[in-house]
Amino acid sequence: MDTWRAAHAGHVVDRLAGLLQERGYSLGPLPQGGDGVLATMRGHSLGRLFPYTDFIFLHDLDLSRVASGEALEALHERNRVWAESQMRVPRALRYRVPNTVTVGVTAIGASEDMRLVASRERRSVNTGEKNSVYLVDTAAGRAWSHGLEQDPIRFGGTWTPNVNPSNRTARLLAGVIGELGAVMSASGVAPDEG
């Protein structure tokens, strides 16, 4: 844990990128420039069903000078616009869903409004896109996200399937962030066992 807290944000971004690459993600520079890495993967959530494209944007918030919730939200919106531009089919007609994930890493410390942005659930009425924000604060040794999305089922129950791209990446990122020693602050997120 002491090593984690001493790490600067760029080092943690590189470590997260390496762990995602070990899990099959392709790495490249951020398309809009800046300090960080874009990790992408195309796959299917259930056999040959439910195709997805993950766009995981790993940002060094300290070098990018993102220090407020408003700036973090604007960064996430830029990432969503870019990911959306990579899809050839209009939202209403999509079978392959883009899953845009912004992971911001800071060693300076995350403000309360930044934590609120990361913790906000981002369910959308349309089914043509999924998106989420994660905030990693190495100074505090903690990370924040919205956690798992619970889908209602008959008789008032809920379940959190991995066919939901937000749940699949929540479990994945809880695992890789946990490998680096941070405590994940999101209800109901257990690391992916795979």
Asked if the structure places residue 180 within a domain, the reply is yes
Q: Is the pLDDT of residue 112 over 50?
A: yes
Hunting for tokens 């100074």 — which residue is that?
139
Asked if the structure places residue 193 within a domain, the reply is no
Exposure string for 88-127, b = 16+ CB within 10 A, e = fewer = eeeeeebeebbbbbbbbbbbeebbeebbebbbeebeeeee
pLDDT at 156: 60
Q: Is the pLDDT of residue 43 over 60?
A: yes
Q: What is the mean pLDDT of residues 142-159?
A: 74
Give the number of domains in the chain.
Answer: 1
Confidence of residue 153 (pLDDT cuts 50, 70, 90): low
pLDDT digits (tens, 9 = 90+) for 74-109: 999 999 999 988 877 666 666 667 889 999 999 998
Domain range for 12 is: 2-185
Q: What is the mean pLDDT of residues 140-169?
A: 75
Asked if the structure places residue 141 within a domain, the reply is yes
Asked if the structure places residue 76 within a domain, the reply is yes
